[in-house]
Structure 1
Amino acid sequence: MSVLFDLWTSSAANFARLPLFPVFQAIHYIATLAATRESRGAVEFATSHPLASFVSTAIACSGGTLALNILLGLPLAAPFAEPAPIVLMAILWWLIFHCPGDYFYKFIASLPVQIFLIIGKEFRRARMIAIGMAAAKVLYPNQWIILVIGGTLKSTGSKWAKTVERLIRNAPDSSEHELLGLSFVSKASFACSVLYVLNELKIGLLPLDQLMLACGFVLSTVRLSTLLLETGDPFVYVEKVLARLLLRQKSVAVKKSKSE
């Protein structure tokens, strides 16, 4: 038992120290760009308006930092200050939208690669929640609500930036507005942010690095079950009960989560 515990603690410590760039960032960019490409008219727009297409997808890929900076009143240019992420983003944008024969897109759309991307993205999300809360804590050290919002926005920003991305493409769609139908990842990121805050208040049962690893496992497991078993959003059952009790509704419509 002690061997398993030691393995768990060492894995959590190593996970907390892993650099996010370039591997985890590349996974995030690929998943976001692939989701954008699946939108109606996105490929045609990338062909006819390549610069606008790249700008819109760059905003979607940097949505977490942009949303957090808007919340905290920080410079919006910060996500684009370093050239390396922009170069990586541009290469992946070209590969996904303009690779001859669509070989790269067909490769990342295969099931084994999709599984790898989901696992990598959800473990990255667990780290981004902590990063967003740490940034908010610098300016609002004891404002726990802002910390929760900061962690949620940092980890799900590409969902919230989707509206801006579609406006640039002149393809607005209210059904894609995250606030009008929260996806599983937004609700799960909010729940994880609350757990992280409880950890800050010394109420949590796990150290932060172990909590991040545990959240990564849970998020990736649910996302994989949605992909492979079509289980849907597990929060829907709680929402139905709350809707009946608090909103005088017999049921609540919940948008099915999509891969980012």
Structure 2
Amino acid sequence: MDMFAFLNLNELALGLSNLPMFPYFDMAHYIISVMSLREKPGALDVSQRSAFACWFSSMLHCFGGAVLSALMMADAPIAPLSNTTNLLLASLMCEMISVGYLVFYCPLDGVYSLASVWPLRLVLTGMKEVTRTWKVLGGVTQAGRKYKDGLFVMIAVGWAKGAGGGLISNFEQLVRGVWKPETNELLKMSYPTKVTLLGSVLFSLQQCGFLPMQTHHLIFIYTLFIVTNKMRMMLTSGSSSYPFSELESVLYKTLFVRPLTFSPLADSTQGSDQTCARQTNPEEAKKKD
């Protein structure tokens, strides 16, 4: 893009696209993922009852996207766990941060307290958001190799790989003995799920040639967007506002809200039921009248 050349950002965009995720960015992803699990209600109680259940739910938080995308691509769902180095690294983070025994023996819960220090957590969260870009791009590229120009397949796989931990949250809750179907991510999408879907759409359009932009330029723009917006949300007292919430609200009200000129569905159903009753039982209807 001419804008990148004008602002001398080409080298920065290329450097970001070649940035290795292992081990530091992956480690940040594991730490923040497991910390978010620890902070869920009842997670510490489960850690005391069953260390294995806590470890397994932690692995779903860390590798949920890879597992879900593998299922969608008809690959082995345990394939993401075949990388022993990453598995041990994630397990180490789990042991140090939330669900392992070390958290109970560490004096004053020092490890978790250290990771919860606001500046450090801010940096770790930003690093985790950087890994989101690579997960989404990896899913889109993987689907594109198998289903060439399959736009919707690429969007679905990229979305699953980037936000799989949230999309399979109900299964992860079952591992911890919790069943809350009303928390289904598809019923009420969280910010990570929405922003991952946005990224999956953009990268899929770019891979199919509908978005005239080089890959490393899109990586730079999308990463800058999700990192800065996440930092803004954290710095504004945990605000969960979505930058496109107003546009999203307008589109929803325009396209999906039932017009007020129509009667409610329940009333029309009751009216049709009464009409049918009159037709099937005219004698009883006359008696009631």
TM-score (norm 2): 0.80
**C-alpha deviation, 1:175, in angstroms:** 4.2
1:257 aligns with none
Q: In the aligned structure 2, how far is the partner of 1:2 from the partner of 1:193? A: 22
Q: In the aligned structure 1, how far is the partner of 2:16 from the partner of 2:205? A: 21
Q: In the aligned structure 1, how far is the partner of 2:40 from the partner of 2:46? A: 10
**C-alpha deviation, 1:24, in angstroms:** 1.5
Q: In the aligned structure 1, how far is the partner of 2:174 from the partner of 2:234? A: 28
Q: In the aligned structure 2, how far is the partner of 1:188 from the partner of 1:235? A: 10
Q: In the aligned structure 1, how far is the partner of 2:87 from the partner of 2:253? A: 47
AA aligned to 2:164 is G
Q: In the aligned structure 1, how far is the partner of 2:7 from the partner of 2:147? A: 35
Sort the Cα spacing of 1:249 and 1:25 in 2 relative to 1 into closer, same or farther, 3 A: farther
Q: In the aligned structure 1, how far is the partner of 2:204 from the partner of 2:173? A: 33
Q: In the aligned structure 1, how far is the partner of 2:124 from the partner of 2:181? A: 27
Compare CA radii of gyration and give the structure with the larger one: 2
Task: Please list every run of 5 or more consecutive structure 2 residues that lacks an aligned counterpart in the other structure.
Answer: 260-289
Determine whether 1:12 maps to 2:13: yes
Q: In the aligned structure 1, how far is the partner of 2:140 from the partner of 2:4? A: 32
2:67 aligns with 66
AA aligned to 2:205 is L
Percent identical pairs in the alignment equals 23
Q: In the aligned structure 2, how far is the partner of 1:249 from the partner of 1:55? A: 43
Determine whether 1:40 maps to 2:41: yes
2:272 aligns with none
Q: In the aligned structure 1, how far is the partner of 2:194 from the partner of 2:161? A: 13
Structure 1 residues 193-219: Cα deviation after superposition (integer angstroms, max 9, x where no partner): 222122223343431012111101101
Name whichever of 194-203 and 65-74 sits farther off. 194-203
Contact 2:149 2:208 in 1 (8 A): no
1:157 aligns with 164
**C-alpha deviation, 1:106, in angstroms:** 1.2
1:258 aligns with none
1:107 aligns with 114
Q: In the aligned structure 1, how far is the partner of 2:221 from the partner of 2:254? A: 31
SS at match of 1:180: coil
1:171 aligns with 178
Contact 1:133 1:147 in 2 (8 A): yes
Q: Which has the higher contact order (CA 8 A, sep 6+)?
A: 1
2:207 aligns with 200
Contact 2:129 2:223 in 1 (8 A): yes
Sort the Cα spacing of 1:168 and 1:205 in 2 relative to 1 into closer, same or farther, 3 A: same
TM-score (norm 1): 0.89
Equivalences, count: 249
Contact 2:191 2:240 in 1 (8 A): no
Sort the Cα spacing of 1:136 and 1:21 in 2 relative to 1 into closer, same or farther, 3 A: same
Q: In the aligned structure 1, how far is the partner of 2:220 from the partner of 2:134? A: 9
Give the alignment of 1:82-161 within 5 angstroms.
82-97=83-98, 98-99=102-103, 100=106, 101-161=108-168
SS at match of 2:186: helix
Q: In the aligned structure 2, how far is the partner of 1:183 from the partner of 1:138? A: 29
**C-alpha deviation, 1:21, in angstroms:** 1.6
AA aligned to 1:33 is V
Q: In the aligned structure 1, how far is the partner of 2:157 from the partner of 2:240? A: 29
2:248 pairs with one of 210, 234, 239: 239
Q: In the aligned structure 1, how far is the partner of 2:89 from the partner of 2:52? A: 16
Determine whether 1:228 maps to 2:235: yes
